[in-house]
Structure 1
Amino acid sequence: MRARIALAGALAAALAGTALLTAPAATAAGPGPDGHAGTKAAMEAQVAKGVPGMIGQVTEGRRVWRATAGVGNLDTGEPRGAGDAFRVGSITKTFVATVLLQLEAEGRLDLDDTVEEWLPGVVQGHGHDGSRITLRQLLNHTSGIREIFEEKEFRDKVTGPGFLKHRDDTWTPRQLVRLAMNGKPTFEPGTSWSYSNTNYLLAGMVIEKATGKPYATEVRRRVLNPLGLRHTVVPGTDHRIPGPHGIAYSKLLVEKPGTEVYDATELNPSLAGPAGEMISTAGDLNRFYAAVLRGKLFPQRQLKEMLTTVPVGAEAPGIRYGLGLMTQKLSCGVRLYGHGGGIHGSSSEAVSTRDGRHTAAFNSNADWTGDSEPVVEAEFCG
C-alpha cells in the first residue's frame, strides 16, 4: 500500500491502508464498449510501472466484471487468477468495526463506553489512560493511542532482515498492546486524528471480552457465514493462503533503492491480528462492502454511526474516516466508501458507492510499488 498520510513511518503505512482513496493527478483512459476498458488500461499501466500482477473485480447491480494484469509468479510467468485469494491487510478493520456495531445494536456494549471499562489496566503507562478513551475513538482513530509500529522491538522483527528471522513468530494482541504502551500517546484523546493499528488490536480484545469468544469466531459467525463469504478467512496463526493464489512479493516494507525482493506469501499473520490479518478475494470483498452500505449487517442507527466521519488531516485533504470505513469524493464528484490494506507482499483496496450497487476491489501482489488510485478513478470516473 502506498502511503499518502504521514503515519508512523513506512511500515505503519504498509499495514494501515489509510490513503488509498486519494484522487490521482490524471484520469486513465475512458471506458470502451464493455465499460471497463479504462480500468483495464489503468491496471496494465501499474504492471508497466513495476507491479508483478494485479487483479480486480467490479460489480454493478447483477453485472460482474473481472480482470487480471501481469503475473502471479515472476519465475514461471503464470498469470494471476481473477479469483485469487490474497491478504487484505487493514481491510480487516471494517470487519472488526462491523462486529462491534452489531454488539452495540444488541445492547451488549456502547461505543461511548471507555476502554478501561472493558479492558481494565490494559491501556495505561507513559500517559496512556484507558478511562479517558472510548470504543468509538478506537474505531475512528481519535484515541491518540501509540501506534505499535513505533515500537522498535516490534518494527525490527517485522521489517527488513528481521522479518526473515521472525516471520514464524506468534504475537498476541495483548502482547502487542503492551509493547505499544512503552511510549507516550500521540495526542490527548479526541483532540486529533492519527492512524494506529493498536486501536484495532484493542477492538478485537473488546469483542472477546464482550462475547467470551475470540474476535475471529464472531467475525465468522456474524459476517462471513451469513453473507456466504466462503473464500474469506481469519487465519490466526496459519501461515498459508488457502485456495488459488499468486506469490506475494515483498521488499520487507523497506523503501530503499535496490532492496531485494522476497517471497512473503507465507507468514504468521498474528503480527497483524485484528488490525490486518484477514484473507479474502475481490468477489467476497465486493459482496461484503455492498452488504455493509445497504445496512444488511446492522440497523440504520449503527450504519449512520459508521458513516459519521472525521477529517484525517492536512496531509490528505478530503479523506475522512468513520468507524472502520473511509470516504472521499473523486475528481468527477463520485463519493466512495471503503478501505485499503497493505501487508507483506500485498496491497489491496475495496470501495463502493453509497448505495452499494457499484463496488470494486483490487489487489497487487507487491508491497513496494503500485498505486490503485488511477485504477479507481478510471473505474468510477472514466
Structure 2
Amino acid sequence: MTDIADIADKVQGVLDRSVAELGVTGIIAHVQDESETWFGSAGVADLETGQRRGPADRFLIGSGGKAFTSATILQLAAEGNLSLDDPVERWLPGVSRNGNDGSKITVRQLINHTSGLWVTGFDADLVRSFHTRAGFAQNRHRVWTVDELLDFALSQPPIFEPGTNFAYTNGAYHLAGAVIEKATGNAYEDEVERTVIKPLGLSGTYARPLAEAGIRAPYTKTYSRMFIRDDVDPGSLTQENWESTLQGPETDAVDVTDSTSFGWSAGNVVSTTPDLLRFTGAMISGSLLAPAWHREMWTTNPTRNWIPHTRYGTGVSEWELADGTTQRAVVGMSNGAATITMGTPDGRRMVSMNVNCDWGWLPAFSAIMEAVFGSPFLRQQ
C-alpha cells in the first residue's frame, strides 16, 4: 500500500483545485493508515474572517448520524434491552396509522431502510419551509418535538410492504430514536453518548438536541446555495428532477450555521475528522460491536433512488468505486455541509472529508478517493 507521504501532495492538489475550480468555501481531508496520519485543507472556515480550517473544527455530519443511531440500537440489542426483531408497535404503541402497520415493521427494518415508510424529504410543505430561501429565513430556528417527527413519519401511506424493498427515509430513523428512548427511559442523546461516544473516546463529538441551534466551539461555519428556485412548485419534486430545480452556483451563499435541525436521530450528530476516523474505523473493524452485531451492521442491501453503486447496511454503506473495488463509508449531508468518511474493508487505509458548503462536494470527494484509494467514485461518461 502506498505510503501516506506519497499521496499527500495529490490530495492537497485536489483540495486546492476544489476551491479554485469548483468554488467550494472550505474543504478538508484527513488520511490515516496503520502507522501515520495526514491532514490537509484549502479555503476557509469563515468567509468574513478568512480563518483557515483545522482538524479540531466541529461540523454537523448530517445523515452520518444514522450510523451513531444504528450503533446505539445494536449495542442495546447486545445488552438485551431490545431485539432487532421486535415489532415497532411493542415500543411505540399507536404507530399503526395511515396504512402503516407497526406490528409488521421491525426495529431492524427501521435502521436498514426496508420499513416501507414514505420518503419524507420530498414533502412539499417541508421543502417550502426549509429548502427555499424565504422559508429557511423564517423557520431556521424552529424547534421540532419528537412527537411531531413521528407524526410526520407516519403521515402518509407506506410505499411498499415492510422488508420487500429499500427506500432511504429520515422518518424510519426518527422512529428508531424514539425506540431507543422507550427501551431505555433515557434521552436519545444520552444513550448515544453512553453506548458510542464515551466508549470510543470521541472528545469532539456530541448528539445535538433538537432545541439547540448552532455548533459548539470550535466549529467551522457552513454555507448554502442549494435552495429550490422560487418558480418551482415544491409539490412537483421527485428523486429524478430535484437537482434541476436548485438555484445555481452564481447565487449568494447563505450562512446557515446558526440554525436548528429536524434531523434528530436521523442526522443531528456533530463531530470532527479525527473522531470520524476513529468512529468509522471502529465500525469497519468491529472494535466497538460484538461480532454478531458487527455482522448485522454490515449485512447490506442494494439501494434504490439513493447514491448509485452503493449498498446499505444499518447506518453505514458500501461504495463501489469506478474500478470495481468496494470501500466502506459513513456519509451525510446537512444544511451547508457534506461529509464522507471512507475506508478499505480491512480498515488499513481511511480518509475523512468535509466541505462547509453544499455544492461541489461530490466531484471533490471523488477525486480525493482516487488519490487515496487509486480510483474515483464518479464514472467516466
Q: Give me the TM-score of the superposition, normalised by structure 2.
A: 0.87
Structure 2 unaligned runs (5+)?
229-245, 376-381
| Residue in structure 2 matching 1:202, options 170, 175, 187 | 175
SS at match of 1:82: coil
Moved more, 152-161 or 167-176: 152-161
- What SS class does the counterpart of residue 35 from structure 1 fall into? helix
1:59 and 1:65 in contact (8 A); partners too: yes
Deviation for aligned residue 1:152: 3.0
2:60·2:334 contact (CA, 8 Å) conserved in 1?
A: yes
Deviation at 1:81, TM superposition (A): 1.9
Aligned to 1:50: 23
SS at match of 1:130: coil
Give the percent of matched residue pairs that are identical in Structure 1 and Structure 2.
Answer: 38
1:243/1:90 Cα in 2 relative to 1: closer, same or farther (>3 Å)? same
Partner Cα distance (2:140, 2:5) in 1: 46
Amino acid in the other structure paired with 1:134 = T
Q: Which of 222, 241, 254 lines up with 1:248 in the alignment?
A: 222
Query: For residue 86 of structure 1, what is the aligned residue in structure 2?
Result: 59
Deviation at 1:317, TM superposition (A): 4.9
Aligned residues between the structures: 351
The answer to which structure, 1 or 2, has the higher relative contact order (CA under 8 A, 6+ apart) is: 1
Whole-angstrom distance in 1 between the partners of 2:5 and 2:321: 23
- Structure 1, 278-287 or 36-45: larger mean CA deviation: 36-45
Match of 2:356 in 1: 365
2:281 maps to what in 1?
A: 290
- 2:278 maps to 1:278: no
* Whole-angstrom distance in 1 between the partners of 2:282 and 2:37: 16
1:316–1:54: structure 2 CA closer, same or farther, 3 Å change rule?
closer
CA distance in 2, matches of 1:33, 1:260: 37
Match of 1:21 in 2: none
User: Alpha carbon RMSD of aligned pairs, Å?
Assistant: 2.0
Deviation at 1:185, TM superposition (A): 1.7
Aligned equivalents of 1:75 and 1:375: distance in 2?
27
Contact 1:327 1:336 in 2 (8 A): yes
Counterpart CA distance in 2 for 1:66 and 1:32 is 10
DSSP 3-state at the match of 2:319? strand
Structure 1: give runs of 5+ residues left out of the alignment. 1-29
- Residue of structure 1 in register with 2:114 after alignment: 142
Check whether the contact 2:56–2:204 (CA below 8 A) recurs between aligned residues: no
Q: Does 1:375 align with 2:368?
A: yes
Structure 1 CA distance for aligned equivalents of residues 265 and 130 of structure 2: 16
Give, as a single letter, the amino acid of the residue that structure 1 aligns with 2:368.
V
The whole-number CA distance in structure 2 between the counterparts of 1:205 and 1:314 is 26
State the alpha-carbon separation in 2 of the partners of residues 355 and 31 from structure 1: 16
Q: Match of 1:245, as an amino acid?
A: Y
| Partner in structure 1 of residue 233 of structure 2 | none
In the alignment, is residue 267 of structure 1 matched against residue 259 of structure 2?
Answer: yes
Q: Under a length normalisation based on structure 1, what TM-score does the superposition of the two structures give?
A: 0.87
Structure 1 stretches of 4+ with a deviation exceeding 4 A read 30-33, 314-317
Kept in 2, the 8 Å contact 1:148–1:176? The answer is no
How far does residue 33 in structure 1 lie from its aligned partner after superposition? 5.0
